[in-house]
Amino acid sequence: MRKAIYSVATVLILVLSSSLPAWADDPAGVRLITVTGEAEVNVPPNEVVFDLTVQTIHKDLRTAKTQTDDRLKKIIELTRKYKVQAKDVQTDYIKLEPRYRGNDESRLFIGYSVRKDLLFTLRDVSQAEELLSELIESGVSRLNSVRFQTSEMRKFRDQARAMAIQAAQEKAVALTSQIGQKIGKAYSIEEEAPQRIPSMANYSQNALSSIDGASESEGTLALGQIKISARVTVRFELN
């Protein structure tokens, strides 16, 4: 009999639990609507960052180092020719190691490898292609990357963020208006890690802006535009 009473009590507790209202995350029971807003700002680059490697292999270590240093000095002189400031030129990586051919005990010593990487920023993007051509002819061992960027990243990131918040608010208004309700004040705002917005994104809930000033390239190095994006999640109270 006692077991039967326990069983009935357990069933009753389960029924009561399932009938309780499922409030939003807030324990006070505030009714909320959660929306995301995305925005993208397209900006013409005004800086070009070159990352390159100079490497020499020679059986004499001193010779390998001297040859690498001489080639690197020529490249640094080339950056000065294009008015790259000394503060924008940095030796980014140095590596020295013996090199062998083969992996077993009979491997053959090839020589010493001396490698130095150079990183510098060109602030006149109109000279990027001409400088690139001269770098290739100057004896660069490897061009690791050529990156286009803007010196006003903070400014455009703030702009994209503001547009994303506005897009989220407009989306919340559009959704609640379909059910005869209105949004109140924002309950919380969270910014997510910046992501690229797909080219076929649904812009009815996103915002897109282009900044004039993209330069046209007559050569083969197309500068294009930099995509700076922002994504926020906003929870609004429901009135």
Q: Residue ranges per domain, the chain?
A: 23-44+153-238, 47-149
Q: Which CATH architecture has domain 23-44+153-238?
A: 2-Layer Sandwich (3.30)
* H or E element in which residue 184 lies: strand 183-191
Per-residue b or e along 124-141, where b marks 16 or more CB atoms closer than 10 Å to that residue's CB: ebebbbebbeebeeeebb
Residue 68 bridge partners (DSSP):
none
State whether CATH 3.30.70.2970 applies to domain 47-149.
yes
Q: In this predicted structure, which of 44-58, 87-101, 201-215, 219-233 has the lowest mean pLDDT?
A: 201-215
Mean pLDDT, the chain, rounded, equals 82
Q: Are residues 167 and 38 in contact, defined by beta-carbon separation less than 8 angstroms?
A: yes
What's the burial of 39, exposed, middle or buried (CB within 10 Å: 0-12/13-18/19+)? buried
User: What is the tens place of the pLDDT at every residue in 128-143?
Assistant: 999 999 998 888 999 9
Q: What is the pLDDT of residue 103?
A: 79
